[in-house]
Every structure is written in structure tokens, then in C-alpha cells.
Chain A
């Protein structure tokens, strides 16, 4: 259970919630966060919503960063990290606005950061965690896991998990460098973080099953995304676009 004792160890916590047209689920997300981490601040990054997500989030006590146009999760997440750096937070937690992540699991990744990790990733596949992936997604996720593990020279089981906690060093790093495109915002971020000299670790967590992604993000598009991300990862192998942190 995350509580005040936990906060004392890791310091001031900022929860970054990127949200695009999540007015329906953002209230539940905010209530979940309040119940389990009352001491943490929440910033909702409104990624060009048109359904009043920002107003709902404000009403529930979140600070809101409103992007004037849709940038995608990567751009939104980076804005959250910029905010965390500006406001001098000690830890930032990435938390989805679609109610997929559970607030009661945050203490697990916070503990890992308190234990010295720069980036703690909540894994759905570690330590006997059972998460039902769509078969194609599972296959893709295995392929990416193998590739990312190879590049960062460390076993990564769930590279597409967006449930993460970042140390002060990682916050500074991600405020400067964050991959922008879909899938890269999770997968490639790990590679860049590894290249940037950040200490990565994975922690077993539980997540809610999401209602299967819309048909639009179906197979052909999925394959195109996979090809693009693999290409990006291979380019990362040859030419480091990231300079290590001091």
C-alpha cells in the first residue's frame, strides 16, 4: 500500500496522466489516485481533447496542461515530464487516463525508484502475473521485448507497458528526450533511457483488461507500426541520438 511513509522515502510525487477524449473515464482515474495516493499531485495532459476532458480533470483537482493540438502519447508524456522538471518533483509516475492502470499498484514501482532505479516499469508478465493479450499483440510484444532486451543488455519482459515511475534524473532526461510516435513512446523510450545511462528495472504489476482496441488499430496498421518501431530500434543501435546524462 502506498502511503505517507512511502512518500517520505521518495519525496514529492507527480502523477502524469496523458488523456485524449477521456472525459468519461478521467473522473474514475482521479478518484482511484486520490484514494490510494492522497499526497501525490496529479497533472492531466490534455492531448487536444474536444470532449471537455480538461474541465472534468480540473474539477477533480488535477493540474491541467492543455495541448492546443493532438501530439500523441509521446508528446503529451514529455509535456508532463517538462512540468515535473519545472516544478522540481522528486518522482514522476506515468499513468494512463483510460483506467487501464491501477493506483494501488503505484507503490510497487515507487518502491523500485526509492530502491535506486531511475526508471521502474510495471510489467504485466513478470512474477506470475497473468495478463490476457490479444494473440497478435502478444506476438508483437514478445518480438519487441526480445529486441529491446538485446539493445539495453538487460531482460525486459513488458516493453509496451506505459505504467512507469521515473526518478529525478529520469525526469530531467525525458523532459529533453522523448520518442514521439505510437509504440515508440513506450518501447523506444526504454532504449533511449538505457542509452542515456538511466538504471532500468521491471516490477510485476496488475493491470485492468482493456476493452480490445478499436478495429481501426487492427492488423495492417499494427504490422505497419511494428515495422516502423523495429526500424527505429535498429537505427538506435547504430547511431545514438542520445547523449548520456552527466
Chain B
């Protein structure tokens, strides 16, 4: 009886939960791409992640084989591996953000310089088009 219950728990923990997570990640990713909030190149990463999760959800024993194959004794090591993966993703994104803000800076500076030049040529200040984002600071 107890053994049967434990087996059921294992199934829930190792199949239903990751399965839900994998499907959820995939759905959210696809929906974000559909709404043009996420570019395909970043979506690929999360689709791939959810695919890996899906494989492990369907074949939970695979995780055991994998850990055994790479010589993992403690399962906590698996968590650390996951954490490292996520850290790399975040660092990658930080690099992209830094590059973007550098680009934004250069563009803002050039706009300021060009606007000034235009002002000198026209002999009057340049009126900006009605701003779309007044309070985006």
C-alpha cells in the first residue's frame, strides 16, 4: 500500500509537474512571439529548454541515467547545474542590454547634435513631433 502511494507520488513529482512546466514555458514563449513581445532568436532558447524538460518529464528515469553517466552522486548537483545554466542566460541578456543602452546613448547624442545643427540652419528651435511617451522615465 505504502509502496504504491510512494510510486504515485514519484509519478506526480517526476512527470506531471515537469510536464506542466514544459508546456507552460512553451505556451508563454509562443504567445509572446505571437504578440511580438519576444524575438524569435530568444524564443528558440526557451523552446529548447522546454523541449529538454519535456523529454525528462516523459522519461523520468532518463534523469537517473544521465546523472549516473556523468557521475553525479547527489541530486543537488543537478540543481546547481540548472542554476548555472540560468545564470549564463541572464549574463547573456545583461550583455545584450548593455550593448543596447550603448547604442541608445550614441543615437541620443547624435540626434541632439543633428537637431542643433538643424536649428542653426533654420534659425529656430526644432519642434518635436507629439511625443508618444511623455512619462517613460
Contact = CB atoms under 8 A, between A and B. Distances in A.
Interface of A: 45, 48, 50, 54-55, 58, 63-71, 75, 78-79, 82-83, 86, 180
B116 interface: yes
A68 B111 contact: yes
Given A50-B134, A58-B125, A67 B116 contact: no
22 contacts: A50-B134, A54-B125, A63-B116, A64-B116, A65-B113, A65-B116, A66-B112, A67-B109, A67-B112, A68-B108, A68-B112, A69-B104, A69-B108, A71-B105, A71-B108, A71-B109, A75-B108, A78-B109, A79-B113, A82-B113, A83-B113, A83-B116
Nearest to B137: A70
A16 to B, nearest CB: 12
Interface in B52-100: none
A79 B105 CA distance: 10
A87 B119 CA distance: 15
B125 A48 contact: no
Given A58-B125, A64-B116, A70-B137, A82 B104 contact: no
A82 B109 contact: yes
B98 to A, nearest CB: 10
Given A71-B105, A79-B113, A180-B105, 11 more contacts: A54-B125, A58-B125, A64-B119, A65-B116, A66-B112, A67-B108, A67-B112, A68-B108, A69-B108, A71-B108, A71-B109
Given A50-B134, A58-B125, A75 B113 contact: no
Nearest to B135: A50
B40 interface: no
A82 B116 CA distance: 12
A64 B113 contact: no
Identify the 5 closest CB pairs spanning chains A and B, nearest first: A65-B112, A79-B109, A67-B108, A67-B112, A75-B105
* Chain A interface main SS type: mixed
A64 B125 contact: yes
Interface string B102-125: 001100110111011001000001
B35 to A, nearest CB: 24
Contacts of B116: 63-66, 83
A75 B137 contact: no
B132 to A, nearest CB: 12
B125 A75 contact: no
A124 B45 CA distance: 53
Contact of B112 (A45, A50, A180): A45
Nearest to A20: B137
Contacts of A79: 109, 112-113
Nearest to B125: A58
B114 to A, nearest CB: 10
Nearest to A46: B112
Nearest to A45: B112
B120 to A, nearest CB: 8
Nearest to A180: B105
B113 A86 contact: yes
